[in-house]
Structure 1
Amino acid sequence: MKKNIAIIMGGYSSEVEISLKSGAVVYQHISKEKYNTYKVHILKNKWVVVDDENNEYDINKHDFSANIDGNTISFDCVFNAIHGNPGENGTILAYFELIGLKHTSAPFYQMALTFNKRDCLSVVKEYGIKTATSFYLNKGDSIDIDKIIAKVGLPCFVKPNNAGSSFGISKAKTKEDILPAIEKAFKEDSEILIEEFLDGTEVTIGVIEFNNKVKVLPMTEIVSENDFFDYDAKYLGKSQEITPARISDELHKKLEITASKVYKVLNMSGFSRSEYIIVNNEPYFLEMNTVPGLTAASIVPQQAAAAGIGLPELFHNAIEMALNK
């Protein structure tokens, strides 16, 4: 008997439209012969199953079932394609774990930990992983620009602590740039971090569970037309994404070991894509995305393709790994 798979997409953050695109691609590529698949839009004002004619059916939040044409549909597994809140920060996954519904992501605590950039960096540092020097601010804190510059220098990056797709990130090149950058970041989150600028090659690395093993995918070198890998570079084509990355075999091995170690020390499962800057042949960990873009043009699917893994196999593996937990 075919399993019922809910593909959740949308969310409550600035990434809602990107998530809807990722979810639609997942829905398109999962075999309808192997699974019964349902698009589920998780939005601030509604949770609904959306069929191919755009008819909507309410989700019963008591057990995450739906009544479709007089039939109650219960789900065997949820494929999580929500970037940001509540999919990537663990909120909805805690709910699924409470009601006993399997899903393709890591447990809710791991998702919350990795989504919180400050906390994630604090954990990996304890395992000897190199990171950029950081300065933290909460909304309402007094802001001492000179103190910030003394710690992280110029230029520096100002980031929301809990946000994705480069929303709210700025590169501050001068002292005068810092306050507007802080104000921009606070529009996305009440916590921000300010990091030193690391001048080096940017590499992004997908690490997944594949056939019950941790698999490091071929690495991608990011060459942005802009000052950094911002929203336009990620989604509007203003960057080169070179897979495999143009790095030495020695450095490739070092990055592979580091990426696998980070995945394991964070007790991850499911999808991940982490960002690194290489400075003097040493990888510096920036952050981890646990619901990376899943369109054909997105980086993790590109990396999977370079490893000989097509989208259907990538998505089916995630479902089977979740069902077998």
Structure 2
Amino acid sequence: MQKIRVGVVRGGPSSEYDVSLRTGENVLRNLDRDKYIPIDLLLTKDGEWVMGGVQQSFSNIVPHLDVVWNALHGAYGEDGKIQQLFEKFGIPYTGSRALSSAIGMHKGLAKDRFVEYGLTVPHGDIVLEGANIADAAFEIYRNRQLPLVVKPVTGGSSIATTIVYSLEELGDAITLAAKYGDVLVEEFIAGQEATVCVIDGGVKGEFLVLYPIEIVPPSTKPFFDYETKYDGSTEEICPGRFTLATHSLLRDLAVKAHKSIDARHYSRTDFMISPKGIYTIEINTLPGLTSESLFPKALSAGRVEFSDFLEHVLSLSLTSNR
């Protein structure tokens, strides 16, 4: 049987460049060499394509590929832009399509879809890029109860995400997050953090939902921030220590979130479990697949080999209309 040539795209211009390198490295390492020819495709921070150590145009790379594994994270890789490039050249690729990616990446638009599907989300406000930060901060301070969570609307890996307890902190946090564009300011939901991974099944409309993961940041950190995501200090318990009813509800909500933006192949949705109910925080259409990432840990807990997951998603991407 002829081997399938898989171009693994990693790097990219976003602030999650280093995470993407590690995701791509893990994918490259675990592709079955009996079935696939892995091709390392580096997209530099400046937007240059490199294959085999040689810089070249994407149009010259395409004839060497049968399918692309999109291992990018954040801007350009997760917001629909690179998906449009793949579609322009007619190359199959893993992950959600362009529109679903754009919606999932934009926390405001995604929250609107969640609400349409009956999910509970934190109340919040968006500060548009270029707005007067002092005025915006004061207006939010007058109308919202502290503490508040401040983060970029289109960011990932909790980059520039802050919990604030005063007007001064609110202004500083908006300034920090505004470096990445529009800013989302929303109510802080206290409770247990959880995340759930969803994988499309072999039949459209069927899903494999992995065990919910309970996330316990170190006592010195109020939430699962960028540092604790990758330094090993956070306790990630899978299956999480939830009641059976909560396990079941989390899985149902994750499927609803996945369907609400028409996500494809796989996704991971973050939740907060509070006395007031379960809040859907955000969806990740290209969650990290590094050896330290949550998705591989959930696969392992469900006794799904990472290489089998890769093969399944590649099979879906090579199947028309999937």
Shorter-chain TM-score range: over 0.9
In structure 1, what is the Cα distance between the partners aligned to 2:77 and 2:56? Answer: 16
* 1:2 alignment partner in structure 2: 3
Match of residue 206 from structure 1: 197
2:283 to 260, 263, 288: 288
Secondary structure, aligned partner of 2:59: coil
1:246 paired residue among 212, 218, 241: 241
Structure 2 equivalent of residue 215 of structure 1: 208
For 2:49, the aligned partner's letter is W
Cα 1:96/1:45, change in 2 over 3 Å:
closer
1:150 Cα deviation from its structure 2 partner: 3.5
SS of residue in 2 equivalent to 1:103: coil
Alignment equivalent of 1:93, drawn from 59, 70, 83: 83
Correspondence list, 1:52-71, <5 A: 56-62=53-59, 64-65=61-62
Aligned mates of 1:209, 1:301 — CA distance in 2: 16
Give the equivalent residue in structure 1 for 2:187.
196
Residue 217 of structure 1 and its aligned partner are, at CA, apart by 0.8
Q: What amino acid is aligned across from residue 48 of structure 1 in structure 2?
A: V
Structure 1: unaligned runs, 5 residues or longer: 51-55, 66-72
SS of residue matched to 1:273? strand
Would you say the 8 A contact 1:133–1:151 is kept in 2?
no
Alignment partner, residue 158 of structure 2: 166
Helix, strand or coil: the match of 1:272? strand
For each residue in 1:217-273, what CA deviation from the matched residue of structure 2 results, as whole angstroms up to 9, or x when unmatched?
Answer: 111111111111101110112211111111111111111111111111211112211
1:185 to 172, 177, 181: 177
Q: Distance in 2 between matches of 1:95 and 1:45?
A: 13
Q: What is the rounded CA distance, in whole Å, between the counterparts of 2:47 and 2:254 in structure 1?
A: 38
Q: Secondary structure at the match of 1:102?
A: coil
Q: Deviations over 1:171-219 (max 9, x none)?
A: 11122211110111011x2200101010111101111114343111111
Task: Tell me the residue number matched to 1:47.
Answer: 49
> 1:299 Cα deviation (Å)?
0.4
* Distance in 2 (alpha carbons) for counterparts of 1:27 and 1:186: 34
Instruction: Judge which range, 281-290 or 242-251, deviates more.
Output: 281-290
Equivalent residue for 1:53?
A: none
Whether contact under 8 Å (1:222, 1:240) holds in the other structure is yes
1:229 to 224, 227, 233: 224
- Which one-letter code corresponds to 1:222 in the other structure? I
SS at match of 1:182: helix
Code of the residue aligned with 2:57 in structure 1: it is: N
Do the aligned partners of 2:96 and 2:265 also contact (CA within 8 Å) in 1?
yes
Tell me how far 1:290 sits from its aligned partner: 1.2
What is aligned with 2:29?
A: 28
CA gap of 1:49–1:244, structure 2 versus 1, over 3 A, is same
Deviates more, 1:193-202 or 1:280-289: 280-289
**Aligned counterparts, 1:67-82, within 5 A:** 73-82=63-72
Higher-strand-fraction structure = 1
User: In 1, are the aligned partners of 2:215 and 2:234 still within 8 Å (CA)?
Assistant: yes
Question: Who is 1:302 aligned against?
Answer: 297
- On the 8 A contact 1:4/1:74 being kept in 2, the answer is yes
Q: 1:63 Cα shift?
A: 5.5
Partner SS for 2:75: coil
Which digits, 9 at most, give the CA deviation of each residue in 1:57-77, with x for residues without a partner? 334323643xxxxxxx52110
Q: Give the residue type in structure 1 aligned to 2:42.
A: H
> 1:83 and 2:84 equivalent?
no
Contact 2:198 2:268 in 1 (8 A): yes
Backbone CA RMSD of aligned residues: 1.4
Which residue pairs with 1:70 in the alignment?
Answer: none
Query: Which residue of structure 1 lines up, in the alignment, with residue 98 of structure 2?
Result: 108
Moved more, 261-270 or 210-219: 210-219
- 1:276 aligns with one of 271, 275, 282: 271
1:140 & 1:98 partners in 2: Cα distance?
32
In structure 2, what is the Cα distance between the partners aligned to 1:145 and 1:281? 26
| 1:128 alignment counterpart | 118
Identity %: 30
Preserved CA contact (<8 Å) 1:199 1:279: yes
Contact kept, 8 Å, 1:220 with 1:243, in 2: the verdict is yes
In the TM superposition, residue 297 of structure 1 has moved relative to its aligned partner by 2.1
Correspondent of 1:152 among 144, 167, 173: 144
**C-alpha separation between the residues in 2 aligned to 1:113 and 1:79?**
20
* Deviation of the 1:10 alpha carbon: 0.4
